[in-house]
Structure formats: structure tokens, C-alpha cells
Amino acid sequence: MAKNDLISGNIWDEYSQTVQDRMNNPKNMGEITEEDAQKLGGKLIVADFGAESCGDAVRLYWVVDEKTDKIIEAKFKSFGCGTAIASSDTMVDLCKGKSVGEAVKITNIDVEHAMRDTPEHAAVPPQKMHCSVMAYDVIKRAAAQYKGVDEASFEDEIIVCECARVSLGTIRDVIKINDLKTVEQITDYTKAGAFCKSCIKPGGHEEREYYLVDILAETRAEMEKEILEESEKTGKEIPFKEMTVVQILKAVESIIDENIRPMLVMDGGNLEILDIKENENYTDIYIRYLGACNGCASSATGTLYAIEAILKEKLDESIRILPI
């Protein structure tokens, strides 16, 4: 059968050629027996991981040299979609030759990047990223088995999404590694929240200890704190285009406090920032006038232009001020 008969249609434009090749001709699919491991002079490790959300499952075989902890051979079996096969095949390649400790550090983003044709183009659409997360999880399971420890040694195994069996540690790691910003992205990458939806936010049919909205907010806050601390440590200013919404808010508030608010207060007025939104080539800042400024004729003309001009000069030309 010709390749074009196997893979056709616009949907495949979202998959790299590397992924398509590994789907059809995986290099590392197979089984390793105890006898094979003995011939290679290593210990056989067999680990299974399944994603109940989509029915995909992967079995990972390692042969580990116990003197060096090096993975001297690896194979896999995958029961699932083509992307799961491609991700597992790539994951095995990344494991070979590494120590078990090094293999544990392989992330889903490493797997996805290794499947790209070019550095700037994603290998798979976002909704298929959970396949590379599955490959990432089975490595931890194999490592825990080899070291004779609980998987919690490598990852927090509190299960947040019972439907997809996704742990708190996996969700936090995936947010950080992939710079996720929305709950929808978490669902695309891990399948957490895709089914009964009880884990997304309070108010579902089942009360839970952890919710995706809270995990996302807390993890993003940690990430932003780390960025700020690094910026303060190095003394480098963060470019406006790289700022988070929280960082933009702080920068805007600082400029308003120093250059704008004192003048408004002198006239019996003030303003507050209601929202910040990225809108194509613009950063829209929504404000509300308070006190004497509310309803003042100049608040929609001269004052507004002055505020926008100062923020453009001191922060970025893309800023627009929109009164509500």
C-alpha cells in the first residue's frame, strides 16, 4: 500500500514526518526476555503504564547494568494510537545509554522535541501531547521498580483526575515544562478534566481536595516568582513581550503610581485597572475612572491620551488604554 494511502488528509499536516515514520515503522518495538537480559549481562525491568482516559497503554523493557546503572538495551510494546507508538518509540531511543537517574529526568517535552522535523514546528497537535506524557510516566515507573522505591520518590502520586489517572505531580510538571496557561491546555496535554470534569473546579458532582484551576494558579504563581527572583538576581529587566500578565500589571501600576495617580488625586479623582488582555498586536489595558474623574469630559480625551502616552513611552508601544 502506498504511503499516501496510509496517511492522507489535512489532519496529518499537524503531525511531523518523523512522527508519521515512527507510527508506521517503529525501531524499538518488541520484547526483551530474561534470557536476553542475561546474555547482555544486565537486569531486566518491565514496567506498564496505561491511560484509562483513552485506552492507550505502554509496556517498557529495560536491561540495566547494575554496576553502572546504565540502560544498555530498551524496547517497548504499545497498545494504542499511532501517536502513542511514535512517542514510545522516541522515548526508548532517549533512554538508551543513559543511567536510570538520567532517564528519570526525560520529560514529555523532550519526547515531543525529539519527534520534530524542525525546532520551531510542533510534532503533534496539543490534544495528542498526552501520549508523550504517558511515555514520561512509564519511565518513572520503571525507575521506581529498578531502585526498589515508591514512585512518589520521583513524582507526587496524589491522583487529581480519577478518570484519566493523572497525578498532582504530573500536572504541575506539565504546566511548568510546557508553559501552560489555561485549564483547557492541561486537558489537551494530559486528559485531566476531559471526562466527568469534577476535578476542574469546585461545584462538580464530586467534591475533591485538588482542582485544576487552583493547581494552575498556584503553579503559575510559583513560575512567576522564580522569574522575578532570577531577574532580581541577575539585575536584568524582563522584556515587555516576555512579561506575564501579573508582571505587566505590576509594571503598569508602578508607572501609574509614580506619574499619573498623584495628578488625578489632586483633582479628587483616581483610576483602577480592571483587566489586561493580549489582542493580536496590542496589549489592551482596561481601566475605570473613580471619584471626580468618573464622568469628567477630559477623562475620555486629554487625560486618556496622556495615560496611554506615558505607558507607551515607559513600557511598550503596543499598549492601548480602554476606559470602561
Q: In what order do the strands lie in the sheet with 282-291?
A: 269-279, 282-291, 319-323
- The 10 Å Cβ neighbour count of residue 185 is 17
Q: Are 210 and 199 in contact (CB under 8 A)?
A: yes
- Yes or no: say if 215 and 201 are a contact pair by the CB < 8 Å rule: no
DSSP secondary structure letter of residue 282: E
Catalytic annotation, pick one of 54, 163, 196, 296: 54
Is 163 a residue of the active site? no
Distance CA 213, CA 199 (A): 9
* Residue 71 neighbours by CB distance under 10 Å: 26
Q: Which helix (H) or strand (E) holds 289?
A: strand 282-291
Give SS3 for 54.
Answer: coil
Please give the Cα distance from 221 to 172 (Å, whole number).
Answer: 12
Q: How far is CA 111 from CA 18, 29, 88, in A?
A: 12, 16, 9
Cell digits of residue 108: 514529555
- Which of 95, 131, 199, 293 is the catalytic position? 131
Q: Could you confirm whether 131 is annotated as catalytic?
A: yes
**Residue 319 phi/psi, 5° resolution?**
-75, 135
Cα dihedral sign for 210, 216, 222, 225? negative
* Element containing residue 285 per DSSP (H, E): strand 282-291
Question: Is residue 235 packed enough to be buried (19+ CB in 10 Å), middle (13-18) or exposed (0-12)?
Answer: exposed
Q: Which one, of 314, 313, 312, 306, lies nearest residue 323 by Cα?
A: 306
DSSP-assigned beta bridge partners for residue 29? 76
- Catalytic residue IDs: 54, 131
